Structure 1
């Protein structure tokens, strides 16, 4: 590695140690000091600040549960890096406002949502909250595509992701075998889960669906790391073992939406590239993870529960919100199509949300009811001004990005968001002959389109952190390659 990368590695190590100090001591003054130091570091070295995001955001739920004063660190790191990029372009103001077409569509979508909110008496706090939910990680496209991305940068990014994923996998095993009684904050330990969700691994991210999406990304990037490193035989074995362990935890999240998304993306990738051996390797890893990880861990957890006092206590914390969906491990897929699950979905679950969403859309068909009014992140923290009109519970969450946008942003918003999504897809597809990375991004985005039906996926900070960073890096790489090809010296 060169001196620049060495400095970035040192910055990441210092940043991680600082986060650990704030986490262990849980003293607000220390957390604020750590935040200040890391934000200054992100302004001075934007790449280092971005690397730290791949440690912070996957661990954010845990970090902020123990040390709430770290809550704004991720946002401030991004803002600091953004301000540095803007500052560096101060002598070329035109470059500051250079965006891809799909970026302009997204900016217009956010502006429309804010205007609709103001027209429908949504509080300023709720509007800012939701704009932040959509925009803060979106800034990473702006930042990263203006950085000079090297192979060393990519390698360091992959290693950070791999290391963080292995830490999260280790904690997940402890969670499963301790029946959620160890290596977790007291509030999480004491939480009362529904029978179906009690069998799922929540992990450091404190949500099985979010954990599943994160592990999917980590697995894909681990494969790329392995290819980039071209490791010796013994290292190859280490990578495969890591993938098997990671896949085992991925299965034990029992996240059906993510399973379907992966099946869609993998099928499209194999059909386009005709890399049948890759499909066989993935199937083999999943089979090994099920036989060597999932079954032994599940049986071990059952034995521990029946024969020891570990995790055997009455939990008196908060009761899990929302409908009980799913059952124990073997029944979870069957429950997906059962009559009882359908009935619950119609009365309090996803179908109920869709029905209510269209009711809102009928009343606000042009530009919608605005941010902070229906099923978005803001409505979890602020009271929606329209819920009482539709008999909706105050804490309803859409778990469906599309119905949220249909209700909140109306026909115009749907068109703008469609231009954003399809614009990205077309951009990747056009560049498929420039770099082989384009096709994985195309099939991944199509799989993500599915995720939008079952998650508010574009508000998930961990997912958008990775997706927008990779999009920015892709744009930077393609531009550099095209400029190189256009050079008169070539």
Structure 2
């Protein structure tokens, strides 16, 4: 127990401060807590960054209870970054050493800002969008310059597993209770379409983001199981079945495609049949042990509500057709494709290409088409292009094409492909992490067709943290590589 306290005491202190802000949801208390955890992150940057593995997956829930906690994650990332800068104050050369993909990222950000100013976007909206892309990049910058030890990897993995279990249990309760238990009252009362109401949103408050998070947690748990005793392996196996059962109940088609691509890529790179087969068996078992029983329990509760004449949600199944089967079938139905042309993804792609045609070199700028800032601030060009809603593009590439033009696409391509080249170069030095991250990255290339994946703080926090760890272990610029058995 003493060893546990020593490993996690700073993280537990941060958790306790956040709990205070939840029990006393005052804006000043929330702000004070945000500043305190940021200060702790400056003192202990590793602990601060690991705390983000708790904060980002629950951020939507935290800020629903105390909105002032919204800035906590940003402040922690900035504080850890500033500590990295401070520690390098006597070596300016190291401070400004960047990989090729980082320069591509900087070019992309610069073009998005310049084109936004030309279009007439407000400075506040530009800063908002830059923050959406950059804040978690600071995690990579910081971790790359830290000395990663075996104990840090173990803490990373155990925190991930613990949080995935918390979110999974909450998700099961959410579904069976028909979105009435273990969630804020505002979420209970919020209208959700009958189709989406059957999906688990979780404390992340988004089924697709939850699915991405559980995918990452599943991968981390598979690796953790190789580092523990046989008794603990069984415990992790049970946990994996639970989390993948919830993953299935998010009904996230895009994430399922991404996971399939990732597993195929990993198999091709590592030839590790054992791990891939184990993953597939866990998914199959999770359907039998978790997904089907939870769905049946939900139907029972729904039927009880119907008998009491207090229906809360539409039935999860109609006849013998499950919700998962319906979503798969709807993907290819003519009515779905027609709707997509008018208001959905195909409509967004068509509008994005129209904007690109009018602004081919540097695009229309950040906060003009389908990004985080355009939802919060609206867009100065939507009226001109007949876009009536503040929407996400749900396609990272069409957003980049429309907002940053050819030059921005070049910068973004250097960023994406440069990371792949960096990981490939360090496959053996940073094994087994590089192979897994290559597989994740290629899966994300696919997910980018369906989500604004690089604006998802939960995903990017994880990805950049692992990528920074690989960079640190490979010691591309900072000395002899570290090796772990």
TM-score class normalised by the smaller sequence: over 0.9
Q: Deviations over 1:408-461 (max 9, x none)?
A: 000000011000000000111111122232111111111100000000000000
Map residues 184-223 of structure 1 onto 2, 5 A cutoff: 184-223=183-222
Q: Could you tell me which residue of structure 2 aligns to residue 438 of structure 1?
A: 434
The SS at the match of 1:390 is coil
Q: CA RMSD, aligned part only?
A: 2.1
The SS at the match of 1:385 is coil
Deviation at 1:278, TM superposition (A): 2.4
**Residues of 2 paired with 1:445 and 1:333: CA distance?**
25
**Residues of 1 paired with 2:196 and 2:89: CA distance?**
51
**Residues of 2 paired with 1:73 and 1:355: CA distance?**
38
The SS at the match of 1:51 is helix
Q: Could you tell me which residue of structure 2 aligns to residue 270 of structure 1?
A: 267
TM-score (norm 1): 0.93
Q: Could you tell me which residue of structure 1 aligns to residue 99 of structure 2?
A: 100
Residue 392 of structure 1 pairs with residue 387 of structure 2: yes
The SS at the match of 2:366 is coil
Is this contact kept in 2: 1:175–1:182, CA < 8 A? yes
Is this contact kept in 1: 2:305–2:311, CA < 8 A? no
Is this contact kept in 2: 1:8–1:47, CA < 8 A? no
Deviation at 1:236, TM superposition (A): 1.9
Q: Could you tell me which residue of structure 2 aligns to residue 478 of structure 1?
A: 474
Is this contact kept in 2: 1:140–1:465, CA < 8 A? yes
Q: Could you tell me which residue of structure 2 aligns to residue 318 of structure 1?
A: none
- The structure 2 residue matched to 1:298, chosen from 295, 298, 318, is 295
**Residues of 1 paired with 2:410 and 2:325: CA distance?**
41
For structure 1, the residue ranges without an aligned partner over 5 or more in a row are: 316-325
Deviates more, 1:285-294 or 1:207-216: 285-294
Deviation at 1:383, TM superposition (A): 2.0
Q: Could you tell me which residue of structure 1 aligns to residue 317 of structure 2?
A: none
Deviation at 1:484, TM superposition (A): 3.2
Map residues 307-326 of structure 1 onto 2, 5 A cutoff: 307-308=304-305, 312=310
Residue 14 of structure 1 pairs with residue 13 of structure 2: yes
**Residues of 2 paired with 1:365 and 1:148: CA distance?**
43
For the structure 1 residues 200 and 85, does the alpha-carbon distance in structure 2 shift closer, same or farther, using more than 3 Å as the test?
same
For structure 2, the residue ranges without an aligned partner over 5 or more in a row are: 314-320
**Residues of 2 paired with 1:101 and 1:271: CA distance?**
26
Q: Could you tell me which residue of structure 2 aligns to residue 88 of structure 1?
A: 87
**Residues of 2 paired with 1:461 and 1:363: CA distance?**
31
Deviation at 1:472, TM superposition (A): 0.6
TM-score (norm 2): 0.94
Deviates more, 1:153-162 or 1:362-371: 153-162
Deviation at 1:314, TM superposition (A): 6.4
Deviation at 1:406, TM superposition (A): 0.2
**Residues of 1 paired with 2:20 and 2:59: CA distance?**
15
Residue 402 of structure 1 pairs with residue 411 of structure 2: no
Q: Report the number of matched residues.
A: 473
- The structure 2 residue matched to 1:258, chosen from 207, 232, 255, is 255
- The structure 1 residue matched to 2:446, chosen from 433, 443, 450, is 450
